[in-house]
Structure 1
Amino acid sequence: MSKRARQGRVVVVGSINTDLVAQTTHLPFPGETLGSVRFSQAGGGKGANQAVAAARFGAHVTMVGCVGDDENGDERLYDLEAEEMDCAGITVTRDRPTGLALITVSHEGQNTIVVVGGSNGELKPADVLRQEALFSRSDVIVCQLETPGETAYASLKLARQLGKITILNPSPATDPLPPEWLSLTDYLVVNEVEALILSDIPFESENDMGRAAEQLQHQGACNVIVTLGARGAYLLQEGGNGRLFLAPRVEAVDTTAAGDTFIGVLAAQLASRQTIAKSIERGQLAAAISVTRRGGQTSIPKREEVDN
């Protein structure tokens, strides 16, 4: 997509990794050794994946992150620049190597992921504050938790001060979020596991996802989106209106980066002033295409594929 055709500006503050992906017949049990059916290596990281999804869907995207001064770091910068995004906010450090993700994908398309943070841990609040001019020119700011928590918080705080739309994807989620974080979040996007951890409400029926979203909204988030995989996504809007969006039916071969695809497209749509309903629906269509392909970043579709 040419730069002339791009609409809306998105800043993604987050992780940049190299994905090492092993395809297996099934996910390994504890203590089990499996042979790999297929192996691949490509760009990844939740932040970079979401940035790529937003760029492929037509947004002007700026990536703020950190890579190591190594071959993986050079390759990741090359990949992101090839997507026509602004990489001026990416810092190169000699203190740690570029982050890695060790991914196992089963024949059914399910995965397990172990993240080695590496240089992502070097992204500091000061790095974000130096990008105030980039933030001020943006429409939407997106954060996750594969970089230090204080950096995500600084990003949300700066974005709110500048009057920007904020999206927080609290992944990986380990503990409930501080209320001050949620009060800075316009759209909190969580999957079922993250909703359980953050709200402390177990999912036993369809009603529970609404209860979890209500709890997260009560804690301070304006709008809550719970992604439910093949079952769709649940939106609880500010004001208490809830709606279930059914997902397109597809045969999944690899779910890696599906959630990131959804969030990146959501951000691109909101940045171009689309409604939240349309933004969710377009994000679902893009995610549905991504799960029919193998790989993470490589599976993310372009806008014209979704439009068709």
Structure 2
Amino acid sequence: MKPTRLTKLLNIRYPIIQAGMSWASSNAALPTAVTNAGGLGVIAAGPMYLDVFRNTVREVKEAVEGKPFAVNLPLYRPEADKFLDVIEEERVPVIFASQGGPKAHLARFHALGTHWIHVVSTLEHARKAAAAGVDALVVVGAEAGGHPPANGVGTLVAVRRAVMELELPIIAGGGVADGYGIAALLALGADAVQLGTRFLATREAGVHDNYKQAVLATGIDGTTLVGIRKLPIRMTKNAFARDVLEADMNQQDDDAYATLFNSSSLRQAALEGDVERGKVELGQSAGLIDDLPSAAEVMQRLVSEYEAAIHRLVD
């Protein structure tokens, strides 16, 4: 795989990023495996306690032996400033941030040599983050699990437009589970590709086995976008999702809708294994996944598939 602006910036071998996923990568095992296989592993700080987070950062740092790794931090979360302090103290080389403005933090972390990558789901937010001075962007399309753009714009269009307009490196996210998808997005001009659902379905991912089995059971049309009136989530079409979609159809009043929406959580699915009433956040790429290998095996496959895709075009 040819070097890109992003691989050169972060000093990683492959332009492959493991998405920061609450609980799935809120551990040392998954980020370590991805980084040691030549990609960029990302610790998801979102649901972690501060002391556990610090210990996990130190564990990953020791296990990767100087290779780059990252932390994903939603800036809106309680005690975000304390987590940023830990990131500074532990000299984490890369930050992936979302759901908050980066401008107030950039000088502090750039002075340390830490690269700040901002995750965005709309072109408007991409422009603002680029103007603020971030080092790179993750541009997420509608196919992505978790919180994709409510406007429904797909990855191919969102990423291509960002590449056309913005000068900084672009990481594409949404709808990719293999090396063929990586080749397609790099051909659009992306500098790297972020994969979430594919790494969720690995042995190192720190979620309940029921959640992993839900990935395998979900077809390409097996996810839906729920909560348009609140914070849109792409997830499986389980009992909870059906109830929310029915509430949308019936124009349920705001209070009742909020009560219903807040009756379920990602934790319920990820840790407790309730895949019928919990928020089983998955991307459409779940329909391309049918096994639970190790993260290192996934990395090897992604590179081989990418090479096969390129050879198919040029031979």
Shorter-chain TM-score tier: 0.3 to 0.5
Q: State the TM-score, normalizing by the size of structure 1.
A: 0.38
Per residue, is there more helix in 1 or in 2? 2
